[in-house]
Structure 1
C-alpha cells in the first residue's frame, strides 16, 4: 500500500465496514439462494476505457474482508494509467464472497479512478505553463481524504484539506467585516496564526487585489476574472504574492488561464463532478467445488 494512502488502518477498516453494511444488509440473499457455499470462482477486473487507477488498496481489502483466503494479483497499482481492455486485477476465491463484495469494490474503484482520470486530463492541459492544478473542498462529506488522494494521483496539488489548514478570506467574510483591509487585519490579529500559515484573500476585482496586497495578503484568489484581468494581476503582483485563478476553470478554459502566468488554478469539478470510470468484473472460468 502506498505511503501516500490517506487512511489509517482503523479508518480503512471502518470505511469498509460501513460500505459493506450499507450494501449487504442482513445478507446477499440472491447469492445465497443460487450459489453453493463451497464454490470457487476466478475473476478479472478489466478497464473498459482509458483511465488512471485510484482506490486499488480499498478494493483489495473489501475482497479480503469477506474472503481472507482469496488469491489476488494486482496488475495496476494506484496512479498507473491504463488503456481500455487491460486487466488491472485477477482474483480467485469463494464464489459467494466474491459476488457479494463485487459492487462495493467496484463502486469505490470506479469513483476514485474517475477523479484521478479527470484530474490527469486537467494536468495535461496545463503542461509547460508553470501553473499548478489545485483541488478544492467540494467533496462528498466523509470522502474528502479519498477524493483528495485521487486528485494527487492524477497530478494535482491539494488545497486546504479542512478549514483549519489556512486562512482564506472570502467575499462573505469581507462583507461582514466591512473591507478587505479590515478582514486581513483581523486575520493577522487572530492568535498569531496568520504569521505561520499565511493569508489568502478572494478578490473579485483588481481594486480588491490591490487593497489585499497593500494590507499584507500572502496569496490572492482571483475569482471569475477575465483573462485580461488575470494578466494585469500577474503583471502587477507576480513574485510579490502567489496568484490563484478560480471560478470558470474548465477543461476547455484552463490552458488559456494558465498561460496568463498565474501560479495556480483551482478546480472544483475534479472532485465534485468527475464521472465514474468503466471498470468491469468478468468471470474467467466455470465455478468449481
Structure 2
C-alpha cells in the first residue's frame, strides 16, 4: 500500500489538513475540560438555614473610639441600670434581669433580635414604635420610673437612649434586618389541660425559686441598694404595666431560663403555675391607671392576667 502523495504547498489539500488539525486540537481541549469538570465535586450555593441560631459578637471585638465608647456605656446602663441611669430607675431591677446575659441570651428577649425588629407596631399602645419608644416603655413599666427621682423615664433624645441603641446595634452585627430570628422574645408555651394555679405555684416556688429570690420573693439586696438577685413582687419590682405581668410571657421566660442556669428543667405545668404565683402578688401601680382599677383592667389588661382580680381578700392593683 502506497502512501498518499503530499500536496504541493498552496493547493486545496494543504488548507484542508490545516483546518483538520485546528479542529482536532479544539476537540481535545473541549474533551479535557469536560472530563475535568465531571471529576470536580459540585458545590451547592452556601445558604444560612432559616432557623440557624444567631450569635452576637464577642465583647473583645467592641471597637475603639467614640463608637466603642457609646457601646460600652450602653452595656453598663443595661447591666447596672441604677448605677448608670439611676435618676430614672424606681426599683431594684436592671435591664439584664429580664434580658439575660447582658441581652445576649436567646429565649430571654435578646436585644440583637429586638434591634432588627423595630420600628414595629405594638398593640400595647396602638402605634408603630421606634426602638427609643420601646426602651422608654421599659423604663416606665419594668424599671418603674414613676417611683424614680425623676418621676418619669428619660426624656426623648437623652444620651441614655443613644448609648443603649449603640449597644443593641453592635449586638446585632451581622443579623438580618426585619426578619424574626430564632430565640427572639420568650418561648410560647401551650396552655395545659388543668390551667395555671397560684397555690400550686407557691409550692414550686418554695422548692425551686426561694433559695435565690427568697421565701417572700424580695430577692437579695446589696448594701448600696442594688440587687444581686432581683425582687419578683412588691415595691422594688416591676409595676403592673410591665410585660412580665402577662402570664404567657412570664411562663415562657421561666420555662426557658429558670432556675437560673438550669433552664428547661421545670415542666410546662410548673412554669405556668410559678408564673401564676409570682404574677398574683401585689406590685407598684400601673402608670396608665387614671380611674378605677376595673376601668384600667378593661382597657389595658384584657387578656386575663391577675391585675384587678381579688387574691387573699384584696383586689390587686389597688
Query: What is the TM-score normalised by the length of structure 1?
Result: 0.21
Query: What is the TM-score normalised by the length of structure 2?
Result: 0.20
Instruction: Name the structure, 1 or 2, with higher relative contact order (CA <8 Å, separation 6+).
Output: 1
More strand by share: 1
